[in-house]
Structures are given as C-alpha cells and as structure tokens.
Structure 1
Amino acid sequence: MSRFDATTALVTGASKGIGRGIAERLGHEGALVVVHYGTDREGAEETVHTIEKEGGRAVAVGADLSSPKAAELLTAALDTALEAEGVASEIDILVHNAGVGSSSGVGEITEEEYDRLFAVNVRAPLFITQALLPRLRDGGRIINISTGLTRVTTPSMLPYGMSKGALEVFTRGMAVELGHRGITVNAVAPGLVSVDRTERQMRENPGMQESVVGLTALQRLGRPDDIASVVAFLASDDGRWITGQLVDATGGARI
C-alpha cells in the first residue's frame, strides 16, 4: 500500500518544473493528482500522462491565477474534473506551487508587473485556500512553495522576495487557524533548481551556474525531485507534527 492511497491532491502550476516533480511524486505514491495549469495545457497533459504511465491517476485543470476570479475558476474546474473521476469533490493535500518570477528591482518594476506578481504569488493562494477549506478534509495538508530569496535576497529580486515573504506569513497564520482541524500548513523554500527557466538564465549569463554552486554547501543545483521529496514528507503522516514552518530546501545555499 502506498502512503497516499485514497487521497486527492491538488498541485497548482504542475505543468512543468518543480510543480510537475511534486505532482509526479504524489501520483507515484498513490494520490489522485489534480494537475493545475495556467496556460500550458500540453505540459499539464504530459504530467498526467507520466503519472498514468506509472499506474497512477491524474487529471488536468486549467485556471488563470492572475485573474480576480482565480479561486472561482479553479474550484469550478476541480469540481468538474473530480465528478468525471467519480470521486467526492474533496481534497487531502493542497500544494500552492504556481508562481511568477521577476528580476525587476524597486527601481525598474512597473505597477503592472507588481500587480501580477502579488496576484499570482499571494492573492491566488489566499483565496484558493479560502474557497477550498470546506473541501479540505480534516487532517489534511497545505504546502506553500516559497523561495530561499526571503532569507538572502538581492536588489533585483526584492519585489519577488516580498511576494514570497507574504506567503510565509500566510503559512504561519493558517497553521494556527487550521490547527484545531488537524490540518498542517507549511512552506518549502527551494534554492536555484534546474528547470527550463533557470537553465535558460544560465545559458544567457555565463558563470551563473558556477557562482550558485560555489555558494551552495552541497555543491550542485537543486532538482525538482529534491523539492518533491520534501513536499511528500510534509504531506505524509510522517509530517503530522510539523506545522507553521518554513523548510529550507536550498542545499545549504549561502549559509
């Protein structure tokens, strides 16, 4: 028996990168995974296909998390997808992974970019959680994906770090609010992880990879499965006594 058998997990932003790694890990261990995507439907369907190929169950749902109606759109898509699967519209594991990045500092960021940054990284997790609380089973798990840049940041990443800092405050507050239901709420802070976006950045910035690795205790870049392993632990019964915490998953970056 796998440790997530008979559970349903929703992973936002699971069409690629860290989100895909998390979705595939939970699916591999028995969860029915709802794979959310914003625009990359093809990528989400690839995630679903990988999970199903390994004997798991998954469905893809789309919703634009920058929209003021993100929670409404996602909830409606979730209900439709789970009804088609013949299961109750309830979830056990909610992973807020979807996020948008920014390398614009305070001197460069526009109001439009700022609004989108906070809409996707802060507003969407808050109101999606609000909408799904009646569907989140007692004893469930909420896991928010933050960043190591809330601990050590640079001027060019300050607005992005601010948005994730808000997510960490949300994590602690919700842990207190939902503790009476046995629901744990934690955040995971990755460092630089080797995904399409960061690999592109490294190609465009020679020496970037060597610099990052040199500042990391474990002397390599992270991988999506490194983060997925931490999420799977927090989502499992083994993580039942951990709540309101930020787990640094940077491989010891800048310590």
Structure 2
Amino acid sequence: MAESNTRIALITGASRGLGRSAALKLAEQGMDIILTYKDNGNKAQEVVHQITALGRKAVSLQLDVGDSGGFSAFAGRVKGALLDTWQRDQFDCLVNNAGTGLQAPFAETTEEQFDMLVDIHLKGTFFLTQKLLPLIRDGGRIVNISSGLARFSFPGYAAYAVMKGGIEVMTRYMAKELGPRGISVNTIAPGAIETDFGGGAVRDNAQVNAQIASITAMGRVGLPDDVGGAVAALLADGTHWISGQRIEVSGGMVL
C-alpha cells in the first residue's frame, strides 16, 4: 500500500524539457509521478528510472494532448495506474505542461497552424483537465503553463502567444469554479529557456541567447530547472492559498 500521505502529481509532456525537470524536482520533494509522453517512450522511461532512483514511484503513459478524442481512454489508463501502483483512485496535482511552439509572422500564419495550436494548448488543456477532474482529489492543485510572450510581444509568436493568453484566462475560471472543492489553480509563465523547444534556438544560437540575456534582469536566459523548481515550489505544502494567479518565471525579462 502507498503511504497515506504520499502525494502524486500527473505531468503532461514530461519526457524532456520543462516537464522532465518539474517531474524530477517534485520527486526530490517527495512526490510520486505519473508522466506522459507523445512519441518517445524510451525517453519517458529514462525519467521513470531517474525518479525511482530518488526513492519515489513513477509511471509513464502515452498521450497526445492534441487529440481530445483520446482523453476518456487516457483517464481510464490513469485510473488503472493509480489502482495498480498506489492502490488509490485519485491523484493530487495536475501540471498541464505539454505543448509545442510556432514561429511564424502574423501575416503568414496558416489556419492549419493556428488550429494545431488551439487543439494542443487550448482545447487540450481545457478538456483534458475536465476529463481528469473526477480523479483529482478535493484540496488538490492544478498548474497550467503559459509563457512570458503573453505579457511581452516578439514578432513571429502571435499565434502561440494568443494560446497562452487563453491559458491565463482559463486558469482564472478554473480557480473560480474549482475553488469550492479546495482545488487551487495557477499559471506559471516561463521566459526564454534553453531547451529543444522551437528548434532549440535559445539554447543553440549564441546571438539569440545573448540578445535575450541582455533584456533579462538576471543577465542570462533561463534553464529548465529554473522553471521545474518554480513548479515544485508552487506545489509545495505552504502555497495552497495561492490561487488564480499568473507567476512569471523569466528572470525579469523586458521589465
């Protein structure tokens, strides 16, 4: 049987990048993890092994957040994993992290590109959370991932930023409507981070990296652990009274 006080977090898109960092930081904090991946099951399994090496339990499940038709079946798999691994029927924290980027001028963004982002970021977050609500315990937590681009504007990110602006509005409504169950809901909005996101430009292009560092108060671009650590801090015991908030984790970009 699982320890009665064991907390379980479900993190989407946790085989790499920010999701992976959040999973490991939460495991270090004593949480068990259900993590999802879209295509790379081997990478997800590596994260599972890293979590178990920390003395925690972890399960990886395949999920395409852009395919809302699969959410009911996914919720069933989550329920099965909870019963098999933890002998429980609910988890504690949901981190809606999975996503994809798009860099295209406003005038050249296609309807197909826009619809793809809607399916993944807006429709995915909205309806996946809805399907998982019966599995989230009263008093639980939800963290949605936005972007600094919902506050400041860089050419080429109009469609992506529109989705993240929607995430921030959605977060406030979730917080309002789930508050009676004691569920807090917040947004974390990362700034530019050194990952493979968006083709890895921030990580791999020295000119882009330096330009972002020059407009960031802390004098550098972000690292995955900067955001993973913030997610873990927001899900720690002392922060449950924070709800409906947007917390930017950008090192002070464009202040």
C-alpha distance after superposition, 1:191-236 (max 9, x if no partner): 1111123673147645111100000000111111111222112212
Q: Give the direction of change, closer, same or farther, for the CA distance of 1:83–1:26 in structure 2 (3 Å limit).
A: same
CA offsets 1:138-177 (integer angstroms, 9 cap, x no match): 1100001110000002231010000011010000011111
The corresponding residue for 1:133 is: 133
Contact 1:14 1:23 in 2 (8 A): yes
SS at match of 1:156: coil
**Match for residue 81 of structure 1?**
81
CA distance, structure 1, for counterparts of residue 73 and residue 120 of structure 2: 14
**Preserved CA contact (<8 Å) 1:12 1:98:** yes
8 Å contact kept, 2:139–2:184: yes
Aligned residue for 2:108, secondary structure, equals coil
Matched, 1:167 2:172: no
Aligned 1:4-153 pairs, distance under 5 A? 6-153=6-153
Which amino acid counterpart does residue 213 of structure 1 have in structure 2? A
Q: Which amino acid aligns with 1:8?
A: I
1:181-220 equivalences under 5 Å are: 181-197=181-197, 200-202=200-202, 205-220=205-220
Instruction: Give the structure-2-normalised TM-score.
Output: 0.93
The C-alpha deviation readout for 1:87-134, integer Å capped at 9, x for no partner, is: 223110000000111002322222221111111111111111111111
Distance in 1 between residues matched to 2:209 and 2:114, nearest whole Å: 27
Task: State how far apart, in whole Å, the 1-side matches of 2:220 and 2:199 are.
Answer: 13
Percent identity for Structure 1 against Structure 2: 38
Note the residue ranges of structure 2 that are not aligned, 5 or more in a row: none
The residue type paired with residue 40 of structure 2 is D
Structure 1, gaps ≥5 residues long: none
Query: Across the two proteins, how many residue pairs are aligned to each other?
Result: 252
Contact 1:62 1:77 in 2 (8 A): no
* Residues 70, 128 of structure 1: 8 Å contact kept: no
Q: Is the 8 A contact 2:192 2:202 kept in 1?
A: no
Q: Aligned pair in 2 of structure 1 residues 236, 169: CA closer, same or farther (>3 Å)?
A: same
CA distance in 1, matches of 2:202, 2:95: 27
Secondary structure of 2:92 counterpart: strand
| TM-score, reference length from structure 1 | 0.93
Q: Deviations over 1:61-81 (max 9, x none)?
A: 001111131422321221232
1:94–1:6 CA distance, 2 compared to 1 (3 A): same
> Pairwise CA RMSD of aligned residues?
1.7
